[in-house]
Amino acid sequence: MSLTQLITGAALLPLAVLARTTNLESRQSGTTVTVNLDQRYQTIDGFGASEAFQRAVQMSKLTEEQQQYTLDLLFSTEKGAGLSILRNGIGSSPDMSSDHMVSIQPKSPGGPSSTPQYVWDGSDNKQLWVSQEAVKRGVKTIYANAWSAPGYMKTNNNDANGGTLCGVGGASCSSGDWRQAYANYLVQYIRYYQEANVTITHLGFVNEPDLTTSYASMRMTGSQAADFIKVLGPTLEKENLTHVGINCCDPEGWSSQASMLGQLGSVDQYLSTITAHSYTSSPGSPLNTRHRTWQTEAADLNGAWQAAWFANGGAGDGQTWASNIYTALVNANASGYLYWIGAQTGTTNSKLIRIDGNTVSPSKRLWAFGQWSRFVRPGAVRVGTSGAPSGVRTSAFQNVDGSVAVQFINTGGSAANVQVKVSGGSGFASTTATAHITDNSHDLSDQAVTLSAGTAAASVPSRSMVTVVLKADAPAE
């Protein structure tokens, strides 16, 4: 059988079988890209989204079939994007009116030293259900993030419209110092999830502390955040919750977090992950920290809904988000990247999946995330690449199971042929290869790839993203 027949007949043969073909009459020519497993960078925690502010409630109103379809689209590594991080909102509001996230202690217990009066509805704005479903699909990273403390713990006596936690520097209140009460409140939230067999792995106590909004919000400087972490860190230790990492501080932009870092030095030992959003500045260079960094919220908030991979290169295109993730991981050494909302109703691009009645419509933004998340799994390490074709963004990661995932984002108008080989890594020798493509016509579809003498050959069509996955046989014992 000729190479042409092999490629055109790819739909008739399993790609792994096709990829194992080594005695080809000729090999597809192309630019040689070398993956260097000895050149190692950051460890990846994953990719994700949120269903906060009652978006999970919207999902729960779908039929059972459509609920499961939506959950699979988000979290399944076989049927969907395989997202591996879920970001939940810790409620602070006294009720669920509008899209408020209800607090586990809606009313003040009387003071910071009073006996708590927690209330648990077993739902948490339906986020517990989404969390349980995500865990069923293999998600192990649950990031619980509070937008604000309850209003009675703050200087403005309101969980919305800014205000600051009573007791941090420059924020004294007649009611007293609420820092310990707030730490206990967050611990109790974690406990409720534990009782439901969901492990919260990361905890954030503030969101966009540099912004005042008409919904849940709380202002904090880096120094004020440190004042609270000095209480929260020891509290988690005392409660035997050291597996829960403290995240800080989710400001509006990457550069804003860079400015806050210098004020967190006194609590560095308590920090797990440094987090920031992309609204006022995007991750373009590494933050000056020894901790892992996540981009935890980004979206095309106002663009009219569109589901294309490439329409006009705008903020809603899937290709745009594939490139945004690339920049964060390769240029800024980010270990995690999250979109704002996974699935919700409405007519903007603020989500990856649109719910309209009982109709569920995934966008190419979802599949852009899937090109990364499905094949770059938690614990993977970014490794070096060289020889990328002109105009094709190229990166590579080695997973915990030893497999190597290589990404190609071609934003140009013509196809690029590539040959991928691996060096280093104690003699890694590729024995199987698969390739997967997303563009205007494909959603994480299998793509033809050949393998000869350990080198994989594939085509990267114009305006597409292709991920090539290479595996080596386990060494004989």
Predicted confidence at residue 475, as pLDDT, reads 53
**Tell me: the pLDDT tens digits for 297-347?**
999 999 999 999 999 999 999 999 999 999 999 999 999 999 999 999 999
% of the chain beyond a pLDDT of 70: 93
d(CA 129, CA 135): 10
| CA trace torsion 238, 240, 241, 246 (10° rounding) | 40
What is the band of 427 on the pLDDT scale with cuts at 50, 70, 90?
confident
pTM, two decimals, is 0.94
pLDDT for 151 beyond 80: yes
d(CA 375, CA 393): 17
CA distances from residue 289 to 144, 153, 262, 388, 443 in whole angstroms, order as listed: 22, 31, 10, 29, 36
d(CA 435, CA 263): 45
**Could you tell me which of 288, 293, 291, 297 has the C-alpha nearest to residue 253?**
297
pLDDT for 139 beyond 50: yes
Single-letter amino acid, residue 10 = A
Mean per-residue pLDDT of the chain: 94
Q: Which of 9-13, 165-169, 382-386 has the lowest mean pLDDT?
A: 9-13
pLDDT for 28 beyond 80: no
**Tell me: the pLDDT tens digits for 346-366?**
999 999 999 999 999 999 999
Rounded to an integer, the average pLDDT of 201-226 is 98
Predicted confidence at residue 371, as pLDDT, reads 98
Better pLDDT: 427 or 73: 73
- In three state form, how does the secondary structure of the chain look? CCHHHHHHCHHHCCHHHHHCCCCCCCCCCCEEEEEEEEEEEEECCEEEEECCCCHHHHHHCCCHHHHHHHHHHHHCCCCCCCCCEEEEEECCECCCCCCCCECCCCCCCCCCCCCCCCCCCCCCCCHHHHHHHHHHCCCCEEEEEECCCCHHHECCCCCECCCCEECECCCCCCCCCCHHHHHHHHHHHHHHHHHCCCCCCEEECCCCCCCCCCCECCCCCHHHHHHHHHHHHHHHHHCCCCCCEEEEECCCCHHHHHHHHHHCHHHHHHEEEEEEECCCCCCCCCCCCCCEEEEEECCCCCCECCCCCCCCCCCCCHHHHHHHHHHHHHHCCCCEEEEEEEEECCCECCEEEEEECCEEEECHHHHHHHHHHCCCCCCCEEEEEECCCCCEEEEEEECCCCCEEEEEEECCCCCEEEEEEEECCCCCCCCEEEEEEECCCCCCEEECEEEECCEEEEEECCCEEEEEEEECCCCCC
Predicted confidence at residue 342, as pLDDT, reads 98
DSSP code at position 269:
G
